[in-house]
Structures are given as structure tokens and as C-alpha cells.
A and B are shown apart, each in its own frame.
Chain A
Amino acid sequence: MPPFRTLGAAATLVLGLGGSAAAQTLVISNWDGYMAPDAVATFTAQTGIPAELVLHATNEEIMGKLIASGGRGYDVVFVSSPFAEILNTLGLAEPLDHAKIPNLANLYPEARALEHDPGNVFSVPYAWGTTGLCYRADLVPEAPDSWADLLSPDEALRGRTTMLATDRWLLAAGLLARGWSVNETDPDKLAQVRDDLIAAKRTLLAYDDTTFYAKLVSGEAALVQAWDGWCNYAIAESDAVRYVIPKEGSDLWVDTMVILKQSANKEAAHAFVNWMLDADNHRWAAENILYKVPNAPAMAALDAELIEAFPNMGITPAELLSYEQLRDVGEAQRAYSRTVTEIMAAQ
């Protein structure tokens, strides 16, 4: 932004402080780069509602802020579905007024019946997808099709695989491999998975949540656990990269938009959620960050070539719904944290 416009914005803010205008500035928190860079400005231009974007790096970061402030200071937050559930459990999420979000009609029927929030009572899905195996077809002895291919890799792949370090997804790989629920809380089963994952750790190159696709492109890694959307970044740079959902299945991850109960701008917050669900606005995420969005007209408008280039963009809502969603596990989250620490501390 040129300096004079920043000055102008600051002046507007200062002048508005005395009146009610400042209170009407919508505060949205999202991950960096998860929506169009000009999304907020366009929203303001089209609706006249002043809005401000703040960034969070992780779900836990924004949750920490929301819990500490009792849900004050933000109007709309983007969080993954288990965290949306927690916001609802804690009474921090505003029940959605569907009359103010007519664009909900754009969502696939499947996206309106998600396990964590059937009927979109407190959350609206923004993006969804799977977690599977992303690999270099030219570097693996044979194409992987099972979580076992990652957990006990072929001799040639020892030291050339990575796994996600985020607790829920790391454990999901072990749970799915044994055919268990990704929300399993039985201590014996968690102990079993811990041992499996400690054995797998000895074959890993690294744990990596953020640069695994770069390791794949450089050839440092040959097979990595990855979210489908992130695998697309590797596919974009290398013809040899493929994505596969292991035969034992995947989790279904869903990132959502939630309006806070403490919001002083609920009208505007609903208007923003509605604006985001507009087919053209929502399509941006699919086209630019290569994540599937649960918006039927937005997905229908995608270029066929895009889906050909990034086959996982074509996974159907019906197939997505065949996988289990990560759910809030309540008290068992402590056992999850401890299990992950045990894996990380093992040599």
C-alpha cells in the first residue's frame, strides 16, 4: 500500500474513533495467504463495511487469544473444524442466522451435513480435503498405496520420508494404518500407535509441516505425509509428483469460518461470511491456493485443465464424506499431547 493511502486510512480511523464507525470495523482473523490478498479491500468496497484482517499462524494461536479474551476482539475467525467445535462448546461461537447468509445455498449438500456441525449451526466450511501420501514417482521403487508404505518404508526409502508433526495428523497416520478411528481415545490403542510411530521415526528424514513439498521437489525426500492442497505445490513444480489416498483411508479435514458471540458487528460478520461464499469470491481459494472449496458453483466454474493438472482437486464431496473428520476429543487431548511428546522424545 502506498504511504499516502496508509495515512488516509489512519486518518479515517482517528476521525472515526469518536463515533460508532470504529466499532463497526470488522476484524477477521485468518491464516496468511488463505484468501485473496485484496479480499478484505474488495469486501469493503462492495459493501461499505470497513474491515481489517489479522493473521494467525496456527489454530492454537488464535484459540489461545480467543480463550484468554473470552472471545472479544474478533468478529470472524477461520479455524479448523475441531477448534470450531471447541468455540461452540465454550459458548464463544455465535449461532448463525441463515437468513443473513443466502449464499449458504452455494454449498454442496455434503458440506451442510458435516459431522462436526450438521446444518451449519455455528460454522461454515471454507476449504476441505484429505491427508495422504505425496511422492516422487521417479524415486520410489513402487507406487505407495498404504500407510504402511510410509510407516515401515522400503529399504530404498529409509531416511527419505517425512511425516507431519502436528499432533492430530501424526497420530492419524498411525491410527489409520491399524484401521482405527482418527479420533480413537483408548489408551492401549494410543500406546500401540505410539510404538508404531516411534519405529517409523527411526526411518524418517524429518518431521515437517511446512516445507515437505520443497524437500520432495529437491529430491531430498521421496515420500511424505501431506495435505492434498500442499501436495499440489509440489505437483506444480515437478511432473513426477503424485498424490494418493492410502487404501486404509484418510481423515477429512475442514477449515471453517466462525462468527464470535462477543462480536459487536454481527450484521457485518454475517455479510462477510455471505460475501466469501459467493461463487466468484470463494473460487479464488481453489484457483490460487489449490485447495478444494465446498462451494458447488465455484468448483463447477473451475477450468478442466486445473483438475487435470492437480487430480486431487477432483475428489468428489461424496468421497470426502466417506472419510472420518477429526473431532474435538475433549479431555483425551492431553493423552494425545503426551503421546506425541513420547514419540518426539524417543531416540
Chain B
Amino acid sequence: MRDRGSAFLMAPALAWLAGLMVVPCALVLALAFFRRGLYGGIDWTFTLENLALVFDPLYGGILLNSARIAGLVALIAAVAGYAAAFAIVSRPRHWQPVLLFLAVLPFWSNYLIRTYAWIVLLNREGLIVQAARWLGRDGALPQMLYTEGAVIAGLVYAYLPFVILACYAPLSRLPRDLAEASRDLGGSGFTTFRRITLPLTLPGLAVGAVFVFVLSVGNFVTPALLGGGQFQMVGTLVYAQFLTAGDWPFGAALAMVLMAVMMLLLVAQTWVAERGTGGRRDA
């Protein structure tokens, strides 16, 4: 009875996902197995060429480079986000919602506008250069906008709140007496963090980091705007196949490989999470 009730409650969401996400995605991904027509149409002959082409050194290289950039972004966001969540949890209880609210505040504005704000900040006559000049730094600063650093900074900024939120929940639920017990038994602050706090909150951190990685690796707006179109990431490449090169089958093949990588990561993250809760039970 209860099962039927919950199935009934889940039906709208499942129908929505199946009809409006799974089916269209499957349709697009199916294109990966067909030839591209000369002028952007589909030639309905079965082929594995598109998938093979993904692993061509040129495109495989772009995939690896995207993974490297997204990995760096996830690492920086994980460290900074965890630290921020830790800081928020150590504030008095009534302050925490306010601080969390401030952390997610940027989400209230449009992604494009937030990215454009970085252009205003980083460009040759931008706020940073002007501030440096005002502080008395003479001479030209190195180019900041349209560099890989700008792309990384923009992505970290955009997705940092995800890590903060993902880490805040387990950190705030962590019973204080565990840390106290550790200290009573002679554990230093660092040992307590390393052996108690971090392992118990690792699942949250993993969720946050994987989220950031997955969102960064497929992003095409930030590399285009902050990278000045000079950094080819796999998101940009997929976008180009569908919107400029007119090669939908290859775009679909790239998307398929990208999705497979993301699924693997999500599975790995779930595994970390399972292990984490298992650990808690043992404790």
C-alpha cells in the first residue's frame, strides 16, 4: 500500500524525466551511430567511425585537457569550499543560515552576467589593473583575461557554492562530542580533523567535487567568454559540432563519451559515500 502510494507520488517526476530528458537524450545519442550527411543532415547508415574519432589524438587531447582543467577547478573548489563550510559551521548557530544565504547569493543572478562581471574585473583596463595602479604599482600587469587562469577562476567562482552547500550539511550534522572525545583521548586538533571530521564528511565533499567537475568539464560559456575562444574544451567542441560544423553524429559521439565519464564519476562518488556511511556505523 505504501509502495503504491510512493510510486504514485513519484510518477509525475519520473514521467517528466523520461519524456523530457531520457527520450530526447537517447534520440540525440543514437545519432552517434550514423554517418553525417554532407550538408549537416544525417545519412542513416550504421557506423562506429564517430565514436572512434573521439579517441583520435586531436579530440582525445581536447577531452584530456578539459578533464585537466575541470580537475583543477574541482580541486580548488573542494579545498576552498570545504574551508568555507567549516568556517560557517564554527560560527554561532543563528549566524549560519545568513552566511549560507550569502554564499549562494550569486546564484540569484544570471550565469552570463556573473561571467561578464569577470571580464569587467580582469580586462586590461579593468578594476584589478586600476586598483593596482591606484596602489602605486607601475608598469603593465600580465594579461589576465583570456588566459587559462581566467577560465579556471571563473569556473571555480561559478561552482564554489555547490561545494559549500554539499559540505555544510554533513559538517553541521557532525556530533560535537565526537571531536571532544577525540581530544579527551589526546588527539591534537589536526589529528581530530584528519581521523574524525574529514572521513565523516568526505561523502559531502565528494558530492561537491564531482558536481563541480561534471559541470566544469562540459561548460562552454566560460571558456568562450573568459578564454577568448582560445581554449578548446570538450563542451565547446560539442557545441561547435552541433551549431557550427553541422556534424551532429560526431557531436553526439562526443556527448556520449562525456556522459559515460560523468556516470563513472557519479558511481565512484556514490561508492565513496557508501563507504563513508559504513564508517560512521562502525564508529
Contacts and interface: CB of A to CB of B under 8 A. Distances in A.
B153 interface: no
A89 interface: yes
Given A201-B230, A207-B229, A344-B232, A337 B245 contact: yes
Interface stretch (A62-70, A172-180, A244-252, A289-297): A62-70
Given A63-B39, A206-B230, A345-B232, A337 B61 contact: no
Contacts of B240: 337, 341
Given A345-B61, A345-B62, A220 B123 contact: yes
B237 A341 contact: yes
Contacts of A338: 58
B40 A67 contact: yes
B152 to A, nearest CB: 14
A39 to B, nearest CB: 26
A303 interface: no
B244 interface: yes
A251 B40 CA distance: 24
B230 A220 contact: no
Contacts, number: 77
A165 B225 CA distance: 13
A205 B147 CA distance: 9
Q: Is the interface of A mostly helix, strand, loop or mixed?
A: helix
A159 interface: yes
Contacts of A342: 58
Contact of A220 (B125, B237, B244, B245): B125
Nearest to A343: B232
Interface string B214-231: 000000000000001110
A302 to B, nearest CB: 34
B146 interface: yes
A38 interface: no
Contacts of A28: none
A345 B58 contact: yes
Nearest to A334: B247
Interface string A189-212: 000000000000100111110000
A337 to B, nearest CB: 4
A89 B237 CA distance: 28
Contacts of A64: 40, 242-243, 246
A16 interface: no
Nearest to B126: A220
Contact of B41 (A67, A207, A330): A67
A219 B123 CA distance: 11
A47 interface: no
Contact of B229 (A58, A67, A68, A206): A206
Contacts of B228: 162, 204-208
Interface in B31-73: 37-41, 58-59, 61-62, 65
Interface of A: 58, 60-61, 63-64, 67-68, 86, 89-90, 159, 162, 165-167, 201, 204-208, 218-220, 330-331, 333-334, 337-338, 341-342, 344-345
13 contacts: A58-B244, A60-B40, A89-B39, A159-B143, A204-B228, A204-B230, A205-B146, A206-B146, A206-B229, A207-B228, A220-B124, A341-B62, A344-B236
Given A207-B229, A344-B229, 8 more contacts: A68-B41, A165-B229, A204-B230, A220-B123, A220-B124, A334-B247, A338-B58, A344-B232
Interface of B: 37-41, 58-59, 61-62, 65, 123-125, 143, 146, 228-230, 232, 236-237, 240, 242-247
